[in-house]
Amino acid sequence: MKSSYREALRAGIRDAMLRDERVFLMGEDVGSYGGSFAVSLGLLEEFGPQRIRDTPLSESGFVGAGIGAALAGMRPIVEIMTVNFSLLALDQIVNNAASLLHMSGGQFNVPLVIRMTTGAGRQLGAQHSHSLEGWFAHIPGLRILAPATLADARGMLWTALQDPDPVLIFEHGSLYNVAGELDDDAGAVDIDTAAVRRPGADVSLITYGGTLPPVLDAAGQLAADGIDAEVLDLRTLRPLDEAAILASVRRTHRAVVVDEGWRSGSISAEISARITENAFYDLDAPVGRVCSAEVPIPYSKHLELAALPSVDRITAAARQAVSAGG
């Protein structure tokens, strides 16, 4: 069936609510407005205000309420409008949700799912456009998901809700309108493993979320030039599927990591370090990285595009890796 990324997310929420009466959605404008990105459109009419709950404009407050509901046996889905606003709830996410199981000596799980929009490319300015999922991937006690395909948008939520610990799902804003075919029987998907989206033999292009489409476009351009690029979609940023990363590098002997986050202290730095630590002698060239410019994301369209990973920058990095490897 035809679906958009937005519709796939909505189908995942609806399916979870039909399966389990403990599941409810809460966040800013998720009810009568249908969500800031129209993901929850129509769910209030179907499930009512007890299960589709509009919240005050207080991320710390409603994330804390979600933690309390999870501790009390519910299965809350908390929507934060953008990743930038999650910083207002850092104390709740890092000091409470991620830590309570350990601080309680294993007595209290927090089965909470937090969804939020991430990424740039839509001219929304620096306060709405950053990619901070790499920050959260630094935190023990959290699972970090980045669905890039319709199937993952549809299926990751139910699997995440089965996790006894907190899961953060980062939905790239540029993907909401992406449309394609989704299997009629699409359901829950695995959230433990990375996926090879395009096999190849010459260079591994490692990415996730909103940068998957430009990476696939870059792989197509490289193929026209005789360079066979493998595209690995990480899907989960914590815990990383290190085995899949190393297996890809050992097939191609070259790697380029594409990450919309800033280069310094990024998830791309972590991946590069793991490749160097565990597959150094399999490499024929240094690990390359394509990241956003080290500036707050600009509002101006041409400056915003210049700051982000582009197909041209990705292909250039891949060509450099291949030429450096002989």
Is the separation of the CB atoms in 132 and 86 below 8 Å? Answer: yes
- Give the closest residue to 131 by CA, choosing from 143, 113, 144: 144
- Say which residue the tokens 């090879």 belong to: 196
Q: Which of 7, 28, 79, 128 is catalytic?
A: 128
CA distance 298 to 235: 27
Among this protein's residues, is 128 annotated catalytic?
Answer: yes
Selecting among 7, 28, 59, 79, the annotated active-site residue is 59
82 three-class SS:
strand
Q: Give the DSSP per-residue string, 102-121.
A: HHTTT------EEEEEE--S
Whether residue 146 contacts residue 236, with contact meaning beta carbons closer than 8 Å, is answered with yes
Among residues 26, 79, 23, which one has the least CA distance to residue 55?
Answer: 26
Q: Tokens at residue 193, please?
A: 């493993």
CB 26 within 8 A of CB 78: yes
Q: Which residues are catalytic?
A: 59, 128
